[in-house]
Structure 1
Amino acid sequence: MTKRIEWSIRAIRRGRDDGMALITVVIFGTVLVMLVATAAAFSSSGAINSRTQDDWNAAMSAAYAGVEDYKSRLANDTTYVQYRNPASSFSSTSTGGLPPTTNPAFGADGSWANVPSGSPGVQSRSFFRYEVDNSQYSATGVIKLRSTGMVGKEVRSLVVNVRQQGFIDFLYFTDFEVQDPTQSDLDCNSSTGKPNYAWTYSTNTHDSDCTEIQFGPNDVINGPLHSNDTLLICGSTFNGAVTTSNTKSPYYKKVSGCSNPTWSATYGPPTVDSTWGMPQTNLQMKSETRTDLDSVKRPGCLYTGPTVITFTGDGKMNVKSPFSIKTQVKGDPPSDGIAAPMCGTPGNVANGLGSKTGATIDVIPQNLIYVQDVPSSGDPNATAVGTWPANFTCLNTSSKTGFQIDTTRFPMSTETVPSATPSHYGCRAGDVYVQGTLHGQLTIAAQNYVYITGDLLYQDKTKDMLGLVGNNAVWVWNPMNGGTPLLAKDRTIYAAILSVGHTFMVQNYDLGPTSGRGSLNIYGAIAQEFRGTVGKSSGQGYTKNYNYDSRFKYTAPPKFLSPVSTTYGISTLVEVPKAFKPDGSPAG
């Protein structure tokens, strides 16, 4: 009996143990199932989040791809700037329509362009589209582009300013580091009509018929510099990046007996860069004064013959241009024209361009002035040879040239006229004489010479901007009576300066006292075909003090001339709220 009872108790205990084990297994199994389910859910969520994050980052890369696509199209066709999608609100103030060859990136009918995958036959998940604002291109050379990238359901947009890279990317640009052959009277040109670069010779020196020009020991260059030629340096100071097309290390040539140059601590000695090509002439700028071209939305002003411009600091300028008849034209060669009110009234009338006092007018806003030679016939601005407008006197003699507009006279009455090719102060030449304080944004181009006859200043250094483009030389006017200066020392010039076919230089740089003419202070940019002399090591002439206008990294004077071949860079970039939904419809 007792044994049965013990057996029964053991059986009950064994049953209880078995039940507890089963319950434990069930509990642990449930927990494991929950853990597995949680892990699976977490893994799935992580994968989704990871994919979303990847798509978010990739969408910005796709937007960048859109920018690069547009830059590439511009580089291959500089006229591509005229195209846009008129239906885009971003392009509402722009001009032009869709290109004749379909480009899905313009987003017409909701289209997107696909970012190439890099694998033939495989389409990537990345897409882009862009919108163009070209409303400021003619004035500043800047195109505003909004590029949108899409990957999956992620969309991101950015806005960039695309700007053509050009001469004003440098404080100082020179094609050849020799004196202009027309000024030195030496046969420096090769069979191509231009000199050879020094680095093409084993000696890294120009032909003996060329006059090489060096940077002197007191010269200070405060900004980026590029030369297509070999730089000849004598102890100068360079406080910006220096590049050259010379491939012969150390990429410059030190003048014998001179101290070493001082290089920027940030940029160091010169590095090698590509060759930038000069345009043949600046005559294409004259087309900006035509009224019959669809590409010219805001024609500038065409003046004819010797033209004297004085900025008065109050947003106005005084213009004396007696030969000017039609200040905007049509046709090439011109067949007709108008006297545009904004350019001043032609002729000898009150406040007229040909009056004794000239025309005082508003500075032409964000536009261009072109000064041409006087045509002799078959042109709306033609004046027969030997015929002179009212208030204009030609002072030509057998030994010198010159003219007088009322009391304004070139040369000065006591001035010894220097020799130059073509001659100084031509009575029918497309020369412009400019000085004063500018308040506005303007480019002045001349078919012949540009003379800077006094200080050229800005009334507002943050907003005002001036471009000077001479087809021939751009002269710093420095009149002399024999060896005696007729103007005060020092000269200050705010401008982007370009001499297309010749040089930027000081008139009579080799005359005057050995104590010099003081400092030539440039705030802007200088580009020229040949190195221009501004002073001599003996002390005559000016000492350089050149300073870069950093605004030229982002913008340019209106309708300024660019190299024959160029690339496009991004001057500013900012991410903005997405412009579109994944289905291509506007986001807001």
Structure 2
Amino acid sequence: MKRMSRDNFGIALPIVVIIASVATLLAFTVALVVQNQSVSNIKYAGQNKALNIAEAGIARYMWHLNKDSQYYKKEEYSRDELRPNAIVEFNQDGYSGAYYIQVEPPTTNYPLLTIRCTAWLIEDPSNRVTIQIKTRKKEFVQSVYGSDNEFNTEGKRVYWATGDEVYGPIHTNGDLYIDGNPIFHNKVTYSGKLNVAYGSRPVYEEGIPQKVAPLTFPPSNSQLKTHAKINGHYYNGRTCIYLKGSSMDVLTFDGDKGEWKRYNNRPLPSNGVIYVDGTETQDPRYKWDTYMGNVFISGTLKGRLTIAAANNIYITAKDPTDSYRNAQPTRGIVYNTPAFDPAGNEQQTDDMLGLVANGFVRILEQDWPSTSYWNYEWVGNVAPYKISIHAAIFALNWSFELENYNSAPALDTVYLVGAITQKYRGAVGTYYSGSYNKKVVSGYKKVYRHDPRMAYDTPPHFLEPVNAGWEIIDWTKLPPEDIPGV
């Protein structure tokens, strides 16, 4: 038998030590990896739970918004309401945590409501998650022009044509017809089909028209009647309103008592809603009927107001509560502080008006309201050479138009700042278009401009689409934010 030399024993011992050390190091490494992986798994699971809590916080805030679209403006909250910038405990579905909501209101420069929610578990408050959404509610007034279809009241197609220039988004629930070279400075949407005549060269500054879901019209404006009867002003019979800043003169026929009533310098209603009830018919023989649910309105508004009529609304160029000869002239209906200054720059203003008729919203062209035996003055054409209208207009079942637009004398321009929504396309004039010019034959040319505030705001209790809802434009996970006291 051979014997191992002493030298071989000297070589083997360090190798054994090295192998043992490596094995020990590998064991510690494996243990550390397992431990770190376990910690990582716990942290990841905690973040997932915190993410669920954050989404629950967003969902709760959205629930409040769907009940009250102006919820983000609240300054006082009841016990059960969700208050921003406060820690809210969350104990549901086996989770024990908390969240913190932050809200950035929309502006004319950025008309989206931004909501951020940071959440964490009570057992690990340092392991926070922050998510952010940007949202807006679908409203009729978000377009300077909207229709249920692109036909007029006679059933004829109405085209966007050469000479039409629109400053603001437009939408139709029906087919969109284009013939010529109209200019669209903002977004164009439709819910039916796009029909562009051969040879047309329309200009779309914000991309080609997009097909979207329709905005369903409500059946009537009767919900505004309910608001008017509670904390607003309710009238039953033909009513004339002269806006005088934060007050108004009202001349109304009381259909219940069969008598005229006058209110001088009456303050605007506390909830901002006026409703004029009465008979509904488009038969021209009953235009001046004192029991008709018609409104005649003019003047200057300082404040926020929505005026609704069971039948038609007529915009006048003089104080409609006085005789035509003595009535104070106006520019139509304007804000005390307009949305734009004379140079076209945006201004800060809280003034906002809504006009909502079950029938037509019209510029008055013929004769004048009166309390005499015949109920009106025979004065002929009363449409002004120029007229300004600052308002969101909604003609639920008919149109916005100049009364007798195709037989009125040739006038100048109707300047509108706000929004128009109508069942059918209305007209404010007719014109002859030659090779080098466009000449008004009857009525007005039009200059319509969208009120930028209406991208996110509406007049008081203004009608919403039946299918209205808050749409989330963007969802983002952000780096966790530091929360005061956590």
Q: TM-score, normalised by structure 1?
A: 0.58
Correspondence 1:284 to 2:171: no
Counterpart of 1:167 (choices 119, 137, 140) is 140
Counterpart of 2:24 (choices 33, 36, 45) is 33
Distance 1:550 1:573 in 2: 24
Which structure has more strand as a fraction of its residues?
A: 2
Deviation sequence 1:45-67 (CA, Å, 0-9, x none)? 36534653575367346534664
**Preserved CA contact (<8 Å) 1:369 1:444:** yes
Distance 1:129 1:532 in 2: 51
Give the aligned partner of residue 531 of structure 1. 425
Counterpart of 1:262 (choices 203, 207, 212) is 203
**Preserved CA contact (<8 Å) 1:438 1:456:** yes
How far off its partner does 1:177 sit?
1.9
Equivalent positions of 1:13-92 (< 5 A) are: 14=6, 22=13, 26=17, 29-30=20-21, 33-34=24-25, 36-38=27-29, 40-41=31-32, 44-45=35-36, 48-49=39-40, 52=43, 55-56=46-47, 59-60=50-51, 63-64=54-55, 67=58
Distance 1:126 1:476 in 2: 61
**Preserved CA contact (<8 Å) 1:554 1:571:** no
**Preserved CA contact (<8 Å) 2:364 2:382:** no
Give the aligned partner of residue 510 of structure 1. 406
Change (3 A) 1:81 1:222: closer
Counterpart of 1:93 (choices 64, 68, 77) is 77
**Preserved CA contact (<8 Å) 2:279 2:310:** no
Q: Secondary structure at the match of 2:274?
A: strand
Residue type of the alignment partner of 1:309: I
Give the aligned partner of residue 462 of structure 2. 560
Counterpart of 2:186 (choices 240, 253, 258) is 240
How far off its partner does 1:470 sit?
0.7
Residue type of the alignment partner of 1:112: Q
Distance 1:110 1:148 in 2: 12
Aligned residues: 418
Identify unmatched segments of 5+ residues in structure 1.
1-10, 85-89, 99-107, 115-124, 134-141, 185-209, 292-298, 327-346, 376-418, 581-586
Change (3 A) 1:483 1:530: farther
Correspondence 1:321 to 2:251: yes
Q: Secondary structure at the match of 1:497?
A: strand
Distance 1:544 1:128 in 2: 55
**Preserved CA contact (<8 Å) 1:519 1:542:** yes
Change (3 A) 1:422 1:267: farther
Change (3 A) 1:35 1:573: closer
How far off its partner does 1:289 sit?
2.6
Residue type of the alignment partner of 2:195: Y
**Preserved CA contact (<8 Å) 1:456 1:492:** yes
Change (3 A) 1:485 1:421: closer
Distance 1:579 1:65 in 2: 18
Distance 1:547 1:573 in 2: 31
Equivalent positions of 1:149-168 (< 5 A) are: 153=124, 154=127, 156=129, 164-168=137-141
Identify unmatched segments of 5+ residues in structure 2.
83-87, 104-111, 317-331, 340-347, 369-377, 433-439
Larger Rg computed on CA atoms: 1
**Preserved CA contact (<8 Å) 2:90 2:97:** no
* Fraction of identical pairs, as percent: 27
Residue type of the alignment partner of 2:226: S
How far off its partner does 1:20 sit?
7.8
Counterpart of 1:569 (choices 465, 471, 475) is 471
Q: Secondary structure at the match of 1:310?
A: strand
Counterpart of 2:169 (choices 216, 224, 234) is 224
Equivalent positions of 1:158-557 (< 5 A) are: 164-180=137-153, 184=154, 210-235=155-180, 236-247=182-193, 251-254=194-197, 259-264=200-205, 266-268=206-208, 270-291=209-230, 299-313=231-245, 316-323=246-253, 354=262, 358-373=263-278, 421=284, 423-453=286-316, 454-459=332-337, 461=339, 462=348, 463-479=350-366, 486-512=382-408, 516-538=410-432, 539=440, 540-557=442-459
Change (3 A) 1:126 1:177: farther
Give the aligned partner of residue 401 of structure 1. none
